[in-house]
Amino acid sequence: MELPSKYRMTSDSRLLMGTLVNIQVVGNEVANVIDNAIEKAFSAMHFVEAMCSRFDDQSALRELCRHPGEWMKVPDVLFETLRLALTMSELTDGAFDPTIGNLLDRHGFNTHYLTGEVISIDADAQEKVSFRDISLDEEARNVYLHKPMLLDLGAVAKGFAVDLAAKELSEFKGVAINAGGDLFLKGVDPTGEIWKVGIQHPKDKEAMIAWLSITDAAVCTSGTYERRSPINQEIHHLFDFTTGQSTKGLVSCTVIAPFAMLADAVSTAAFVLGKDRALDFVNELELDALCIDDSLEISMTDAMERYLG
């Protein structure tokens, strides 16, 4: 039996940042007020994509990559995503690394999701690099690339885009933003209850392996089932940069955090650290996580259990 709605819900979906983004707004405000707010939320996400996309030759990220050996003034959005990415790199001793763009390119993760166009990169950018070859000037908001490189901020920028969208929708009774595994939930669903979200079963696209009851927080999942190399289906897009190999052992890692940008980065970082280190890493950051290994065994931080059900 379908539950009666306590509040009206407005929903819209768009293709952005390589995935289908769905926004749901709960509230009894005038329809055009909600519609305008949703439009602003999508515009905020589009702006982050325009700044941080590895696939768009006109993006601020690609412009930065064209100027190694120079201090470059970059937009605040790009600076903030890069700063968090470098923090994750430090915390994981380089397993997580935003200079991974060349490695992803070599394994076939180089096609624009809308146009099908294969990105072209400067041959000079094939040189071995790491996050240690990037310097930030916090005061001037400048970035210096010490070597030619291709940056990839996919593990941070999508979460940041979700956070900016959520900010545009903060006035409403309830909000749910889902950007391909990066979620932010606020307030209540149309029945007046807190949101319930499912964690996808890694081996069954139509099933959920666990359910979470959550509000006023972000939930981000990194998994091997999302993207596979067109060159070798055994290779997924989540690499331990220190080894240059797709991480084995885990098939999914879900992290709960106050903001999607943080949950996004930490879920990826924890995943690439692998089964033995993932939960310890999340615990050290005082966040919560649920990990699923390749035998479908579930492990989680102690406090994660309060969200289950």
- In tens, the pLDDT along 24-70 reads 999 989 999 999 999 999 999 999 999 999 999 899 999 999 999 99
Q: Which domain holds residue 103?
A: 55-152
Among the three residues 152, 182, 200, which one is the final residue of a domain in this structure?
Answer: 152
Q: What is the pLDDT of residue 203?
A: 85
Stretch 121-150: mean pLDDT, rounded? Answer: 87
4 burial via Cβ count (<10 Å: 0-12, 13-18, 19+): exposed
Angle at 154 between CA 275 and CA 105, to 5 degrees: 90
CATH code: domain of residue 31: 3.10.520.10
Answer yes or no: is pLDDT of 228 > 60: no
Strand partners, 47: none
Q: Nearest 5°: phi and psi at 148? A: -60, 135
Give the whole-angstrom CA distance, residue 34 versus residue 231: 44
What pLDDT shows up at residue 208? 95
Same domain assignment for residues 133 and 213 = no
Q: In one letter, which amino acid is 283? A: N
Domain presence at residue 2: no
Task: Let me know: does 261 contact 160? Beta carbons within 8 Å.
Answer: yes
Structure tokens at 285: 């950051």
279: pLDDT strictly greater than 80: yes
* pLDDT of amino acid 1: 36
2: Cβ contacts below 8 Å, ≥ 6 apart: none
The count of domains in the chain is: 2
Query: pLDDT, tens digit, for every residue of 59-98?
Result: 999 999 999 999 999 999 999 999 999 999 999 999 999 9
